[in-house]
């Protein structure tokens, strides 16, 4: 079953992608390309004077950023994933575990919003790539890996003590058993002469010469150099050619392509050029500015369409699901009371069921859905105290000790 696409084509959202994805209908996206922070333990910013000046994003993770709702969602709905992250935490420490939890809740949403034949390209480097692959196996299923695609960027810096680090890995996972692969859009040339010889003089005389062969899962393309025309200065900007290649291979014309970490909009530009519909999300408002600038410069050039006609939607509110997500069990209060064994999710006090209130773990005002998975029981005191805030805010208030 394919869900209804409720987001307008060419929408760019400014905000946290987990909250925005929670508002996107299930089974409504064909292809997701995601290039998240890699846990490099540093902060990135664009150079002053570049088009992207002012853009910055952090890539350091600490345990205090972990939200209770992530823990709750994972332990209740994906216990195996929880066990895996816990085990990784033993090796990568608490901060590494915080990063993996951050990624896990987002991977869960990505899978949910993909169509049954949709797929996800998740861009990683060696920092946490193997752990991320573990998360993908846990959420998508180990058999759903289509390719471990290598982007060989060639122009790596070369030290003297090891091989030059010159590739990133893109894990390509399908949601189901079928996926889109347009081999003919990305054919690789044959080695010189051989094929023509086979088809003209060899045993296959008279048959049309194939235009090329299935390409390798290694794609060689230099990373952007300082002089590249498309360079915006946005840290970690990926080459447009890489994205065009992936979009052409893994989606069809008119398909919906989503980039939940869109940065300076490389995927969105690629999707526009290739005739796909697109949705972008980034927490930095700079992404919105850059998508406009780049559309003008890289898409509109020589094109009679004006930017106004392109109608790009800048969204600053959370989308609301229209696919019947508003389902909650009739007996949800009793189910939750049993699951929580009568304890309040806020103060951990024990209460009678009639003293417990239904609470949206992620508030509705922040994109939280009115579904079982987002509900919990709390005592009236905690419920009031939390208001439209998050669990982390409630816990902070409780810890501050002012209220208990
Ligand atoms: C590695 S960069 C992406 C670069 C992009 N592929 C490009 O070519 O420009 C990661 C991006 O994720 C964004 N980001 C980090 N956490 C986010 C979140 N929770 N929600 C949305 N965007 C986020 C950052 O602002 C940054 O732009
Ligand atoms: Zn309480």
Specify the residue for token string 């169509």.
Answer: 115
Q: Do 312 and 10 form a contact (C-beta atoms < 8 A)?
A: yes
Nearest bound ligand to the CA of residue 343: 2
Which residue from 98, 160, 108, 158 is spatially nearest to 128, judged by alpha carbons?
98
| CB 264 near ligand 1, within 6 Å | yes
CATH architecture label of 11-185+221-315: 3-Layer(aba) Sandwich (3.40)
Question: Which residues are 388's β-sheet partners?
Answer: none
The confidence band for 347, taking pLDDT boundaries of 50, 70 and 90, is very high
Comparing 80-94, 171-185, 313-327, the range with the smallest average pLDDT is 313-327
Identify the pLDDT of residue 195.
64
Indicate whether 231 pLDDT > 80.
Answer: yes
| CB 16 near ligand 1, within 6 Å | yes
Identify the pLDDT of residue 53.
87
- Report the 10 Å Cβ neighbour count for 16: 17
Q: Which of residues 183 and 75 earns the better pLDDT score?
A: 183
Identify the pLDDT of residue 158.
85
Residue nearest to atom 22 of ligand 1 (CA): 282
The C-alpha atoms of residue 188 and residue 195 are separated, in whole angstroms, by 13
Comparing 6-15, 125-134, 152-161, 275-284, the range with the smallest average pLDDT is 152-161
Residue of 20, 57, 257 to mutate, ligand 1, most atoms within 8 A of C-beta: 57
Q: How far is CA 113 from CA 28, 32, 110, 221, in A?
A: 6, 9, 5, 30
Identify the pLDDT of residue 321.
82
The confidence band for 199, taking pLDDT boundaries of 50, 70 and 90, is low
261 Cα: distance to centroid of ligand 1 (angstroms): 4
Specify the residue for token string 């002469």.
Answer: 193
144 Cα: distance to centroid of ligand 1 (angstroms): 25
Q: What percent of the chain has pLDDT over 90?
A: 58
Identify the pLDDT of residue 36.
97
**Residue ranges of the domains in the chain?**
11-185+221-315, 332-396
Q: Do 59 and 102 form a contact (C-beta atoms < 8 A)?
A: no
The confidence band for 50, taking pLDDT boundaries of 50, 70 and 90, is confident
345 Cα: distance to centroid of ligand 2 (angstroms): 6
Nearest bound ligand to the CA of residue 34: 1
Q: Which of residues 225 and 343 earns the better pLDDT score?
A: 343
| CB 3 near ligand 1, within 6 Å | no
- Report the 10 Å Cβ neighbour count for 100: 26
335 Cα: distance to centroid of ligand 2 (angstroms): 18
| CB 17 near ligand 1, within 6 Å | yes
Burial level of 199, CB count in 10 A (0-12/13-18/19+)?
Answer: middle
Looking at the domain covering 332-396, what would its CATH class be?
mainly alpha
Q: Do 370 and 328 form a contact (C-beta atoms < 8 A)?
A: yes
Mean pLDDT, range 184-199, rounded to an integer: 78
């Amino acid at each position: 079953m394919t869900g209804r696409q409720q987001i307008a084509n060419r929408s760019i959202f400014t905000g946290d992608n987990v909250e925005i994805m929670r508002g996107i209908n299930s089974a409504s996206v064909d292809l997701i390309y995601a290039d998240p922070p890699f846990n490099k333990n540093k902060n990135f910013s664009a150079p002053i004077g570049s088009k992207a000046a002012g853009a910055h994003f952090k890539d350091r993770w600490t345990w205090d950023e972990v939200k209770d709702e992530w823990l709750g969602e994972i332990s209740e709905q994906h216990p195996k994933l929880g066990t895996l992250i816990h085990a990784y935490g033993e090796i990568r420490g608490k901060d590494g575990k915080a990063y993996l939890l951050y990624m896990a809740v987002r991977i869960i949403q990505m899978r949910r919003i993909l169509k049954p034949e949709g797929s996800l390209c998740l861009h990683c480097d060696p920092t946490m790539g193997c752990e991320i692959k573990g998360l993908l196996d846990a959420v998508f299923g180990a058999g759903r890996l289509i390719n471990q695609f290598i982007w060989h960027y060639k122009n790596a810096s070369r030290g003297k003590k090891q091989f030059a680090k010159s590739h990133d890995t893109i894990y390509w996972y399908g949601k189901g058993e079928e996926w889109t692969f347009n081999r003919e859009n990305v054919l690789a040339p044959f080695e010189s002469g051989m094929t023509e010889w086979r088809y003209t003089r060899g045993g296959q005389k008279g048959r049309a010469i194939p235009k090329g062969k299935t390409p390798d899962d290694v794609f060689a393309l230099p990373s952007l150099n300082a002089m590249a025309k498309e360079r915006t200065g946005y840290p970690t900007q990926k080459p447009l050619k890489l994205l065009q290649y992936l979009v052409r291979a893994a989606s069809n014309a008119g398909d919906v392509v989503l980039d939940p970490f869109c940065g300076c909009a490389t995927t969105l530009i690629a999707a526009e050029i290739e005739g796909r519909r697109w949705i972008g999300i980034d927490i930095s408002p700079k992404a919105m500015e850059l998508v406009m600038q780049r559309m003008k410069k890289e898409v509109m050039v020589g094109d009679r369409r004006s930017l106004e006609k392109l109608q790009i939607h800048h969204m600053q509110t959370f989308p609301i699901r229209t696919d019947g997500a508003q389902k909650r069990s009739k007996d949800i209060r009793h189910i939750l009371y049993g699951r929580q064994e009568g304890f309040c999710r806020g103060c951990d006090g024990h209460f009678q069921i009639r003293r417990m209130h239904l609470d949206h773990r992620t508030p509705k005002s922040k994109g939280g859905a009115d579904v079982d998975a987002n509900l919990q029981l709390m005592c009236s005191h905690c419920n009031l105290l939390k208001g439209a805030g998050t669990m982390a805010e409630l816990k902070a208030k409780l810890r501050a000790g002012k209220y208990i």
